[in-house]
Amino acid sequence: MKAKFVIPLVLFVVLVGFLAVGLNRDPHEVPSPLINKPAPLFNVPQLANPNKSFSPEEMKGQVWILNVFASWCVACREEHPMLVEMSKSHVVPLIGLDYKDKRADAMEMLARQGDPYNFSAFDGDGRVGINYGVYGVPETYVIDKAGIIRFKQIGPITQEVLEKSMYPLIAKLNKD
């Protein structure tokens, strides 16, 4: 009779342990399989100038940031003032990737709220985002001089993320 209750009790305790560990993790720290791997290549039109294209190959030799955003994204609006401030420092090129959006809506948003980007690429169908593992916007990537992804921020960039993670990493990567 005791053995009949021991197995379910052990399984219950193990399940509670897994749930406790999972609930204590920060959802913004989802590990990315792309960290320390080459950034996926693409070639898409620029947002403001559809006759001009952009490819990450153009950024080789410099540390840069790719920020995935959309005009329909509420969290992107929350993050936007931080990006505008960051762009004033000219620490690294800041490239936008307008994700699953309408070109006119994105252009209007940037005109209204300020355009922090050196320029933005247009990923209207979301294929570039899929290759980068984007499952929600905003997402931000720090990419080194060799085109390797060194950092991924899921969700809005905060002052704390900039000061504790991104700026120190960018400084280190610029020295290399």
Domain that holds residue 105: 35-175
22: in domain: no
Beta pairing, strands 53-54 & 44-45 = antiparallel
pLDDT at 29: 52
Amino acid identity of 119? F
- pLDDT tens per residue across all 176 residues of the chain: 566 777 777 777 777 666 766 566 555 455 567 899 999 999 999 999 999 999 999 999 999 999 999 999 999 999 999 999 999 999 999 999 999 999 999 999 999 999 999 999 999 999 999 999 998 999 999 999 999 999 999 999 999 999 999 999 999 999 98
Query: Is 119 within 8 Å of 54 (Cβ atoms)?
Result: yes
Residue closest to 142 by CA, chosen among 125, 164, 124, 167: 167
Cis peptide before 138 (omega within 30 of 0): yes
164: in domain: yes
Q: In the chain, what is the straight-line distance between the N-terminal and C-terminal CA atoms, in Å?
A: 66
Q: How many domains does the chain have?
A: 1
pLDDT at 164: 95
CA pair distance 117, 82, nearest whole angstrom: 12
Instruction: Provide the CATH number for the domain around residue 144.
Output: 3.40.30.10
Adjacent-strand bridge partners of 69: 98
Q: How many CB atoms lie within 10 A of CB 85?
A: 13
Query: Is 102 within 8 Å of 65 (Cβ atoms)?
Result: no
4: in domain: no
pLDDT at 5: 72
128: in domain: yes
pTM to 2 decimals? 0.83
CA 32 to chain CA centroid, nearest Å: 10
Adjacent-strand bridge partners of 154: 139
